[in-house]
Copies of this chain bind each other. A is one copy, B any other.
């Protein structure tokens, strides 16, 4: 029930339904009036005695409200003079409608994305409970710039067991995602005067751009059926970014001879190999090939992440470093963000140590294998398409027949049908008409329920646009 009070000086609406005590209500009413411009700068306020009488409040209540507003700068007081409204900006505009989180596309076939609908929430919660039950107080204090020893210890075992990585916990640095790891490595390389990085072509444009933005110069390593070609290494090359177990985007594993050659280059030149093992856990026809790192642990920075297994939201990744790079990388990590948040690290450490991580990956691998087989069967109906790479990872690359629709045509049609995927051409360092065109199809991204419809939607677009050999149009004469 609102109540009005007026004084010789001003008229003010006091909402007695507002929460809080009488002092707080009076303070709020005055502040709102000032913010709303109903009480303008310089306006003198009633005396505390006068206002107290008018409102039936104790004088102390009014004095307390005036003091609080004066301390906040809404009122100015001078001994012997009336309390006045200070200079204050008008109120903010009404609250804008709240954002809504980005919704995934109807048919999500974007490469490099796991099925986040399968996040093991129950097991993650159980691990969180175990961590919080046994957490010592220091867990909630300042963290370790290198990453929690519990997580580094669990990873040293896990990576040795599943990826053949040769490491000890003291060689591992935890980062807030692979993106941070790339930036930290770039800063250390630049500090050492190393400025030229070689990137697979076609390759992951986002990280190539990241490295260039960090100040390095990138040159291309052409990718053929054996992976990145060492022939393109130059005398100026300081570092090489590789995806040896499943090249992005072609999906070919790096040939053993090439593995040897890159390691030989690193040993002789002192160059650094950055091994991006982004989806090495997912091989569908056999045991995955071990990490390149184990061939030259003193020359390879091995990088892994939870982004392709659990989901990118966790921002948890790891880098296994040559001994001489540990201290420099930890130092720039500390400069960059002090340390990565601790609880997530401890939960992941428990998740790995209790083998919940292995179980989750095994289950995901089984689902993805079936999805991939379904996709490959459906694509086989289009003889013009060529699928590349080994049965592995979260995506497959298909290149397009010279006849028929262009990559751009297909991407447009896919977008019209709500099918989200990526084109190949933008992953080339120097896109030109001679480069093959193709589609990167991420079969892991959709939920189990949504996957068949997504594949149907894609093959529907292909059926509409790709002419079958029997009916193949003659190619238009070239100029």
Contact = CB atoms under 8 A, between A and B. Distances in A.
Contacts of A167: 92
Interface string A111-148: 00100110101101100110011011111111110101
A95 B337 contact: no
Nearest to A342: B313
Given A103-B138, A128-B125, A87 B170 contact: no
A155 to B, nearest CB: 12
A255 to B, nearest CB: 9
State how many copies of this chain the complex holds: 2
A292 B287 CA distance: 61
A177 B452 CA distance: 42
B149 A100 contact: yes
Interface in A80-95: 86-89, 91-92, 95
Contacts of A143: 312-313, 315
Contact of A168 (B96, B119, B156): B96
A260 B86 contact: yes
Interface string A142-180: 111010110001001000000010111110000011011
A156 to B, nearest CB: 7
Contacts of A101: 136, 138-139, 144, 148-149
A209 to B, nearest CB: 11
A467 interface: no
Interface stretch (A64-72, A189-197, A381-389): A64-72
Interface stretch (A274-282, A294-302, A401-409, A468-476): A294-302
Given A72-B256, A260-B73, A263-B73, A138 B169 contact: no
A164 B87 CA distance: 17
Interface string A305-317: 0000011111110
Given A129-B125, A168-B96, A314 B338 contact: no
Contacts of A335: 213
B290 A72 contact: yes
A138 B104 contact: yes
A43 B141 CA distance: 53
Interface residues of A, number: 95
A209 B311 CA distance: 36
B99 A116 contact: no
Contact of A116 (B88, B116, B138): B138
A230 interface: no
B35 A73 contact: no
Q: Which interface residue of A95, A256, A314 has the most chain B CB atoms within 10 A? A: A256
A71 B256 contact: yes
Nearest to A171: B92
A1 interface: no
B338 A341 contact: no
Nearest to A121: B132
A315 B297 contact: no
A122 B129 CA distance: 9
A337 B177 contact: yes
Given A117-B137, A295-B73, A313-B141, A98 B169 contact: yes
A243 interface: no
Interface of A: 31, 35, 68, 70-74, 76, 86-89, 91-92, 95-96, 98-104, 113, 116-117, 119, 121-122, 124-125, 128-129, 132-133, 135-144, 146, 148-149, 153, 156, 164, 166-170, 176-177, 179-180, 213, 253, 256-257, 259-260, 263-264, 287, 289-290, 292, 294-298, 310-316, 335, 337-344, 447
Closest 4 CB pairs between A and B? Answer: A140-B311, A313-B342, A116-B140, A117-B137
Given A31-B164, A102-B142, 18 more contacts: A72-B256, A73-B292, A76-B257, A95-B156, A96-B168, A98-B170, A99-B169, A100-B149, A101-B138, A101-B149, A102-B138, A104-B137, A116-B137, A122-B132, A142-B313, A213-B335, A315-B337, A315-B341
16 contacts: A68-B290, A72-B256, A88-B295, A89-B295, A95-B169, A98-B169, A99-B169, A101-B144, A113-B141, A116-B140, A117-B137, A119-B137, A121-B132, A143-B315, A341-B341, A343-B344
